[in-house]
Homo-oligomer: A and B are copies of this chain.
Amino acid sequence: MRNIADDRVHLTREHAVELLRQMTRIRRFEEKCAELYTQEKIRGFLHLYIGEEANAVGVISALAEDEAIVATYREHGHALVRGLPMSEVMAEMFGKAAGSSRGRGGSMHIFSARHRFFGGNAIVAGGLPLAVGLALADKMLGIERATCCFFGEGAAAEGEFHESLNLAALWHLPVLFVCENNLYAMGTALARSQSNPSISTRAAVYGIASEAVDGMNVVDVEAAARRAVHAVRRGEGPRFIEAKTYRFRAHSMFDADLYREKAEIEAWKKRDPLTLFSDWALSAGVLHPDDRQEIEVDVAREIDTAVGFAEAAEWEPVEDLATDVVSPRPETEP
């Protein structure tokens, strides 16, 4: 179904529906999560992606299913687009044993080995070295595919950003770095934390071809991702995309959001990636008038099912607390 072999976006109706559906799935899923959080069904940290959906959808649409993804604690969207069943993701949010990480990870640690979805990392910039290593493995094993690493602009201040970009460039590794620049790291605006706020120019200094893209425009994101991932697959070394985006909600459910102007938020909401895309697609005749509504109905149903599944699911028994800390010792052991 997904056309990954092409390095350009083909906006058939089918593809447009898929893009909108995926963005809608994320949006509604997270709105539901926020509600469930206030009901105390979901606990811990909950970082919403609302406003940034175009990035996960655009980029992951360009990836093959076996191209690894490494993400952050703000990864529900990435997990859903990658194809993790919403029920499993929702069960994970609840902490149930049927969750994608057996409930042990929660919102920040969604994993799926069968989807090559490597999480879900709650240490800022902690995922970058892992992505470099996954790409190194592919290269050494002769497998031609990209590894895609998502992280925020705040992560670009960390030492691991620098070390990882250097390694990837030096060893010519097939990594696609995607910096989701939503302008804030918790309450710290980019300009207050990094002397050079142009993230994409900073990638270039390692010799990594990089591109900044409108992260509210799913088509632009997908187009940039296709170009980049094709170059990566061709063995041209790592690529870097800076997606300029914005989170509409607070950093987490604990955040009083005191550090930015309401007007700024409102201005960005005018560029809501869902409306932006569906309005354009409708006016361009790519989407049909009923598509939006149908998607909403489908997604509502999917969410109901997911919540029902999560509600009904079992807790992991306490006796299993210590399973899988380490593996059982292998038989081959002397």
A135 smallest CB distance to B (angstroms): 14
Smallest CB-CB separation from A237: which chain B residue? B195
Can you give 5 contacting A-B residue pairs, CB < 8 Å? A158-B163, A159-B160, A162-B162, A170-B195, A196-B207
Bound Cα distance A175, B14 (Å)? 57
**Which single member of B157, B170, B193, B202 contacts A194 (CB below 8 Å)?**
B170
**Bound Cα distance A11, B196 (Å):** 38
Please tell me the size bucket of the interface on A.
20 to 34
A252 at the binding interface (Cβ < 8 Å): no
Q: Mark A195-237, 1 if CB is under 8 A from B, else 0.
A: 1100001100111100000000000000000000000000000
Tell which of B157, B169, B170 touches A166, judged by Cβ atoms closer than 8 Å.
Answer: B157
Task: Give per-residue flags for A154-194: 1 if the beta carbon is below 8 A from chain B beta carbons, else 0.
Answer: 00011111110110011000000000000000000000011
Task: Find chain B residues with CB under 8 A from A194 CB.
Answer: 166, 170
A159 contact from B162, B193, B207, Cβ within 8 A: B162
- Inter-chain contacts of A206 with B (CB < 8 A): 195-196
Chain B contacts of A205 at CB under 8 A?
196, 201-202, 205
Given contacts A195-B206, A196-B207, A205-B196, whether A163 and B159 have CB atoms under 8 Å apart is yes
The smallest beta-carbon distance between A16 and chain B, in angstroms, is 39
Counting chain B CB atoms within 10 Å of each CB, the highest count among A158, A159, A195 belongs to: A195
A266 to B45, CA, bound (A): 61
Query: Which residues on B sit within 8 Å (CB–CB) of A202?
Result: 205
Q: Quick one: given A201-B205, A202-B205, are A169 and B195 in contact (CB under 8 Å)?
A: yes
In the complex, what residue of chain B is closest to A206 when comparing beta carbons? Answer: B195
